[in-house]
Structure 1
């Protein structure tokens, strides 16, 4: 019988943490390790059917509001009472990790906290989250992070020097994201993109940290000088309608293709000629790794952790001016692809899956 590891996520959409866990889940040997999931968002996520097909279970817990603190704690306490089969919990939701990991420890589970970000944003909500996550470094048995910057931000610099800390690369299936000329032609046909058009692309949820406002302003300037160009946006989120409105205001709506959230993002990279990633903050920025695996020229902001810029050809640029970005875009040509650097092998999900599977099996606690 495999051991069952409980993965705690906000939802089961195609976000960074969710995609990381699913990439692992697809590759891990399920004869030895099986994943089950606790999610906080009530609507059905894009990964749920696939999880059920692979033998995983999904549990719905209350979304924490502060006012329901005691009900939230009771849900977790009752859950562990009813499910003694779980000996290990891997938490990817940091805002309430100090709560559910503490309760898990009371029930004698091995606890893992995993950092996937470097900021909570701004405002009162961010300040509350900052305070709530402070105890995590002393609550969890093991501290994981997608980059050292993400580890230092959530756990503190001192904690990242401790033996219970590990930087875990966000593994991807490199072969899945490899360039395919036939797929490029097919995707451009499906998206009604002329083969001569130059396509700038972005993959990510339409939320504050992804900085779509800058992205659209940049494309508007580029498109004014290069009318045979398109902007391809893959992703959904709370700012979707705001992005649509901004496209209309900037008069680029007809040349901006918004396809929503997709599980087959690898197909959409094929249609692109350059990948833009102007994030305000990122834990790592796994989509930048995916774009590099596709051989795309990548322009990223200085806010992206260094671990995401694997290839020397990645251009790390300042957000304070679009001029740097426009200069680099002037060097991009349609259909251009680079040879993929061998250094990307460190992000091979098969290698990461073996590493984590070994960890789970070695640290499984029999209650």
Structure 2
């Protein structure tokens, strides 16, 4: 059996973590097993499932406890566990690639760096380190994955992008569970008490990149014309209290539903009528693939890669456009959009997770065998 060591911050419910789990559920685990090197001492959303699927979770200290402590634990880990032939590090920036560097020193033959974003907020030092490592990433990684063209340009230099070791890996989904189902939609809406309301929806962590405050401004303005509407926000994060304050300041407590973390995203998407995604920056959002599969019209910022436009359900709006432009786009969809299943588009565009999991499985097996 081949063991793949995935290096992440933690396995909470988010875009890149959901992608990894989607792959993990669909690979042949008699041939390949995933283990997880995580930079947190807290229990994460997917930990129980990882253990149930046969994986291990190895916790190491983050850099906030000191660079030397972080490096020392990594050195001890690779000294003890010498059976890993593949390390797969998932990143939003190159400001922290110590696991890759350590893996190279310990002669791990396959070292994958995987870009999942087009930017990451951080200090001047973090941005400087990212740019520095971008120049020299070829010295530490052997293979380079990315979720989109924009994420590739952010993470990799031209030499990498022109190499045979670079590839784009689509953020795939379990297409069948997101297919539009009218009966399920009616049931979910009834359970949520939405009745005949028009539901503006969003799925994502309550963090700066997702731009929830602007989304609330859009909804607040839309509500003046369409008062029988509700904003459904699915997710949680460090900005929750700030977002709750904004909702209260605008007197929207009875018009906004904050669900927190949920594991029934496929059902909640059924309940929505339009999906708004005004992100500051993104890699390739899994939730936009899921929303399209369910037939939802999606209105997204122009900072999101065009690669995620799999169906004709997506309209792009410049983030610096007026709120009225976003609202006009909602009305345009309301006039012409007919909700129906679009899962065949997802499969044809090779965003179905079964296809992607098989491709990654073949890659891991071929790499491992060639390095033995």
Q: CA deviation at 1:271?
A: 0.8
2:229 corresponds to 1:225: no
Q: CA deviation at 1:152?
A: 1.3
Alignment match, 2:313: 313
Structure 1 residues without counterparts, runs of 5 or longer: none
Pairwise mapping of residues 125-136 of structure 1 onto structure 2 (< 5 A)? Answer: 126-128=126-128, 130-131=130-131, 133-134=133-134, 135-136=136-137
Q: Does the CA contact (< 8 Å) of 2:200 and 2:273 recur in 1? A: yes
Cα root mean square deviation, aligned: 1.9
Task: State which of 361, 367, 370 in structure 2 corresponds to 1:363.
Answer: 367
Distance change in 2, residues 1:122/1:106 (3 Å): closer
Distance change in 2, residues 1:178/1:5 (3 Å): same
Task: State which of 339, 342, 351 in structure 2 corresponds to 1:340.
Answer: 342
Q: CA deviation at 1:143?
A: 0.5
CA–CA distance in structure 1, aligned partners of residues 258 and 158 of structure 2: 39
Aligned pair count reads: 364
Q: CA deviation at 1:333?
A: 4.2
Pairwise mapping of residues 25-40 of structure 1 onto structure 2 (< 5 A)? Answer: 25-40=24-39
Q: Does the CA contact (< 8 Å) of 1:76 and 1:100 recur in 2? A: yes
Alignment match, 1:43: 42
CA–CA distance in structure 2, aligned partners of residues 286 and 149 of structure 1: 15
Distance change in 2, residues 1:359/1:255 (3 Å): same
Q: Residue 179 of structure 1: SS of its match in structure 2?
A: coil
Query: TM-score, normalised on structure 2?
Result: 0.93
CA–CA distance in structure 2, aligned partners of residues 102 and 141 of structure 1: 11
CA–CA distance in structure 2, aligned partners of residues 59 and 339 of structure 1: 40
Distance change in 2, residues 1:179/1:129 (3 Å): farther
Alignment match, 1:91: 89
Alignment match, 1:178: 179
Alignment match, 1:71: 69
2:191 corresponds to 1:193: no
Alignment match, 1:100: 99
Q: Residue 63 of structure 2: SS of its match in structure 1?
A: coil
Q: CA deviation at 1:185?
A: 2.0
CA–CA distance in structure 2, aligned partners of residues 45 and 267 of structure 1: 22
Q: Residue 97 of structure 2: SS of its match in structure 1?
A: helix
CA–CA distance in structure 2, aligned partners of residues 182 and 44 of structure 1: 36
Distance change in 2, residues 1:125/1:227 (3 Å): farther
Structure 2 residues without counterparts, runs of 5 or longer: none
